[in-house]
Amino acid sequence: MKNTLTRFLLPATAVAGSLALYALTPPARVVPDADNAGLKLPAGFGALVAAETGGRARHLTVTPQGVVYVKLSRVKDGKGILTLHPTSTGKATIAGGFGGYGGTGMYNKDGYLYASSDEDVYRYKLDSKGEVTNPTQPEKIVTGLINRKQHESKSVVLDNSGNIYVNVGAYSNSCQERDRRPGSLGMPNCPVLDSAGGIWQFKANKLNQKYGDGMRYATGLRNVVGLDWNQQDNKLFVMQHGRDQLHTLFPDKYTEKESAQFPAECMYALDKGDNAGWPYIYYNQELNKKMVAPEYGGDGKKTVDDKYIDPAAAYPAHMAPNGLLFYTGSMFPEKYKNGAFIAFHGSWNRAPEPQKGYFVVFQPFKNGKPSGNWEVFADNFAGSPEKAASGRADHRPCGLAQGPDGSLYVSDDVKGTIYRIVYNKK
């Protein structure tokens, strides 16, 4: 996948002119790259490399005017957020950047751009061209979120009632007394859940909220990187990263193959007060049952009652779902409308089984709920099946965003490639 974009900064007058023209003139038919940017896609779809950022691109968002904002996990050249402007070719030019902090969260709604570091959430005002008006003076919405250097990313999304939801990942694999030590049992009444392992709700328009000002909306979630608001169901959906190392930690209870296969990566539909059960349980996607975790007396066979919510859908283990997007556009065929795209970053801990993931999948929905089997939508980010199996992927999909024309943007946090997927079948 070659870099087909030359990066440059546009003069302010040229930027304003190009954005105004983009807003007034319907964009031309987007032509995919000859090799579809190296991706394998369903018939009728094509892909192009929209930009090469050279940074670790995490989540991204596209304004109604087509301006793309990309959050970098690490600051590059003093910038943690990149601004990309659309061109008539369907590609984008890197027109600048701002925000001297790394992180993951990126979202836009109602004229504001929201971005997160690993401890704070910021807000930037957008003008009528989709441009940030206060790049050096953002409003700080939330400050002081916990960061223990494990599952530290703070993904964000907004509802339609003025609330912002923030993931606060658990700083632990399974709440053991000694984290990731073989045979170590779980801490009673897991103290991690006092301040992490869930989703917190804050007011989207209230400045300088402290950690304690937020409400723990849902708990028992080990780590959520991908999340989105389902407009059809008017509900928060999240993707949990399941726990690791069943065999390594409890070799007398789990085989290496079982450790590679379980637990599921789960999608949850959340209501206020829900408890998904981490660290006390995990989900076995083959039995469709909630299992007692070995740290709390489980043996791979013991199930748990209905004290905890069931997942809305379950996927193979360890594939790391980092992006979730409900598709509301009109470019793609009708089957995709209101369904969910999920970006699986790819596994590292399925050995001796092949590593897995490194693709974007589609989960059909009906009436706001998963309906039918998921399917691989965009594959070969890794570069080859051999690279995927070994875990040495060229690219790893991370963030998802929908363009104003209905195209799908995908970020890669290995080399910083921004992909754009379109549908052109007549």
What whole-number distance in Å separates Cα of residue 128 and Cα of residue 137?
19
DSSP string across 9-77: PPPHHHHHHHHHHHHHSPPPPPPPPTTGGG-B--TTEEEEEEEE--S-EEEEEE-TT--EEEEEEEEET
- What is residue 22's predicted lDDT score, i.e. its pLDDT? 43
- What is residue 20's predicted lDDT score, i.e. its pLDDT? 43
Which of 102-106, 323-327, 351-355, 384-388 is least confident?
351-355
Summarised one tens digit per residue, pLDDT across range 130-146 is 999 999 999 999 999 99
How confident is the prediction for the chain on average, in pLDDT?
93
Per-residue pLDDT, averaged over 344-355, amounts to: 94
Between 64 and 11, the more confident residue is 64
What whole-number distance in Å separates Cα of residue 324 and Cα of residue 362?
10
Q: Are 323 and 398 in contact (CB under 8 A)?
A: yes
What whole-number distance in Å separates Cα of residue 270 and Cα of residue 157?
13
- What is residue 18's predicted lDDT score, i.e. its pLDDT? 44
- What is residue 305's predicted lDDT score, i.e. its pLDDT? 80
Per-residue pLDDT, averaged over 186-211, amounts to: 97
Does the structure show a pLDDT above 80 at 27? no
Does the structure show a pLDDT above 50 at 166? yes
Does the structure show a pLDDT above 90 at 306? no
Summarised one tens digit per residue, pLDDT across range 46-68 is 999 999 999 999 999 999 999 99
Does the structure show a pLDDT above 90 at 366? yes
Place 29 in a pLDDT band, splitting at 50, 70 and 90.
confident
